[in-house]
């Protein structure tokens, strides 16, 4: 079936928010990130990009390239607030949407043409509404699938509207650099260009087998993207993954200090998985089950983050505010939800590269030597941790199996049509 998939991406989002709050930044090269010599660029304005500045570059290098740039320390709480405003508008208007990252959404408007209005017109109106209501510039790509739409957005940014009519995907992609393909990293780019493959057109002319000979397994997904083939569905917001863990005590307890230790362990485990999935969470939930089996959940929105200390602070706050140690507890649990992609951004506002990379370093040690090395836990707590880890591992496996089965099913039905 012919689908209509929109990709919407806010233009240099962090910079746009800063400019909304301080109009003196308009038209100037602005860099968001750590301003000390050892900081890192989290985001920058188009004016700064013209000097060769880009995100993830050391701030010192950025300052060399563009000495007149204005450095602004990022404010994730503020960006999260505006990101949510945009999501609310999209949610109110769209049949199905997916929040992919803090500044990106996918919307599935398949069938809109038939019943409502031309999908391009509908998309333009949604874009206008977002710009009018939030004051933030945004671009879109509209095509039959996620990859082509995302590439189209990139091509027409900023303030752009990219439309790739059904059947013209290959034609649209052909003249573009292979570096425009989402998921094609630096190494793959270097390897392909060393073989004289620079344009997507060249990939289109190759057989799947030829590309697999160069890239191995990875070749198949790159080949499909180059040919404008992608059946992956919109992950609807209510299906978007959440992650949780819980512990039932051997004996009901009122020991708040012990429970706090367990909460620390839980946040630590979930946080590790969150970063491994390269996601951030925007919402935490604490669950308490009393000895009479009555369950209570306490939920709080937080600025999007993947760092344990920010999450733990909120979890502890929820815990001490809602549990005074006066009722027997049999179970506690923690859930992260509103997950979006992009954990690498979280720490980029830190002043030093070391701080920004702290979690990466800790996570590396943990994946090599096991988590107990980082978070020593003893006795019953340790057994519980292991049981929880095992249970979640099992759940993850089952979820992956289910997704695989569903993907096969939907793939089949698309081929049949
Ligand atoms: Mg953006």
Is 307 found in the same domain as 292? yes
What is the distance between the alpha carbons of residues 250 and 384, in angstroms, rounded to a whole number? 10
Query: How distant is the alpha carbon of residue 194 from its chain centre?
Result: 31
CA of 15 to the centre of ligand 1 (A): 10
Q: Are residues 130 and 164 in the same domain?
A: yes
Same domain for 396 and 251?
A: yes
3-state secondary structure (DSSP) of residue 180? helix
For residue range 363-401, list pLDDT tens digits in order: 666 665 555 444 434 344 555 666 666 677 677 777 777
Amino acid 414: pLDDT: 41
Ligand 1 centroid to residue 228 C-alpha, Å? 22
Q: Could you tell me the distance, in angstroms and rounded to a whole number, from the CA of residue 402 to the centre of ligand 1?
A: 32
Same domain, 316 and 253: yes
66 and 82 in a single domain? The answer is no
Q: Is residue 314 part of a domain?
A: yes
Based on the domain organization, do 174 and 317 belong to the same domain?
Answer: no
Residue 411 within a domain:
no
Residue 272, burial from CB neighbour count under 10 angstroms (0-12, 13-18, 19+): buried
User: Active site residue: 18, 47, 98, 104, which one?
Assistant: 104
Q: What's the total number of domains in the chain? A: 3
Helix axes 379-416, 256-276, angle to 10 degrees: 30
Query: How many A from CA of 401 to the centre of ligand 1?
Result: 32
Same domain membership, residue 249 and residue 394: yes
CATH number of the domain within which 26 lies: 3.40.1170.60
Q: Using CA atoms, how far apart are residues 380 and 38, in angstroms rounded to an integer?
A: 43
Residue whose entry in the numeric block shows the structure tokens 């233009």: 11
> What percentage of the chain carries pLDDT values higher than 70?
84
pLDDT per residue as tens digits for the range 2-53: 899 999 999 999 999 999 999 999 999 999 987 777 788 888 999 999 999 9
For 108, residues 6+ apart whose C-beta sits below 8 A from its C-beta are 3, 4, 5, 6, 94, 95, 96, 97, 233, 234
Q: What is the distance in A from the centroid of ligand 1 to the CA of 292?
A: 49
Inside any domain, residue 306: yes
CATH number, position 124: 3.30.70.270
- Residue 356 CA to ligand 1 center (angstroms) comes to 21
Is 350 inside any structural domain?
Answer: no
Domain enclosing residue 279, as ranges: 243-341+377-400
Residue 246 a catalytic site member: no
């Amino acid at each position: 079936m012919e689908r209509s998939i929109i990709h919407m991406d806010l233009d240099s989002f962090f910079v746009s928010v800063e400019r909304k709050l301080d109009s003196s930044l308009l038209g100037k090269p602005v860099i968001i990130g750590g301003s000390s010599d050892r900081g890192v660029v989290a985001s920058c304005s188009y004016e700064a990009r013209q000097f060769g500045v880009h995100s993830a570059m050391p701030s010192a290098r950025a300052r060399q390239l563009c000495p007149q740039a204005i450095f602004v320390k990022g404010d994730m709480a503020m960006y999260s607030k505006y990101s949510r405003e945009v999501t609310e508008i999209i949610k109110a208007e769209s049949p199905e949407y997916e929040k992919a990252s803090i500044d990106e959404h996918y919307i599935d408007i398949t069938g809109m043409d038939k019943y409502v209005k031309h999908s391009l017109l509908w998309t333009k109106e949604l874009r206008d509404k977002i710009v009018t209501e939030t004051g933030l510039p945004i671009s879109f790509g509209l095509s039959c699938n996620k990859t082509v739409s995302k590439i189209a957005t990139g091509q027409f940014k900023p303030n752009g509207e990219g439309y790739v009519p059904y059947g013209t995907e290959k034609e649209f992609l052909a003249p573009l650099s292979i570096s425009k393909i989402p998921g094609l990293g630096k190494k793959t780019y270097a390897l392909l260009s060393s073989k004289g493959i620079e344009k997507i057109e060249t990939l289109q002319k190759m057989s799947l087998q030829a590309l697999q000979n160069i890239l191995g397994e990875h070749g198949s997904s790159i080949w499909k993207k180059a040919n404008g083939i992608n059946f992956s569905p919109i992950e609807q917001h209510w299906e978007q993954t959440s992650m949780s863990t819980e512990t039932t005590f051997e004996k009901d307890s009122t020991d708040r200090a012990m429970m706090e230790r367990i909460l620390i362990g839980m946040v630590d485990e979930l946080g590790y998985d969150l970063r491994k999935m390269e996601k951030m969470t925007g919402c935490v939930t604490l669950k308490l089950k009393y000895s009479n089996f009555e369950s209570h959940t306490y939920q709080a929105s937080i600025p999007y983050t993947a760092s344990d200390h920010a999450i733990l602070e909120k979890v502890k706050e929820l815990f001490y505010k809602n549990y005074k140690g006066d009722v027997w507890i049999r179970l506690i649990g923690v859930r992260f939800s509103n997950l979006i992609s992009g954990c690498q951004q979280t720490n980029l506002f830190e002043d030093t590269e070391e701080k920004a990379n702290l979690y990466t370093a800790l996570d590396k040690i943990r994946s090599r030597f096991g988590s107990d090395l980082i978070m020593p836990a003893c006795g019953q707590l340790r057994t519980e941790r292991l049981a929880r880890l095992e249970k979640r591992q099992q759940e993850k496996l089952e979820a992956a199996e289910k997704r695989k089965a569903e993907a096969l099913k939907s793939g089949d039905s698309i081929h049949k049509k």
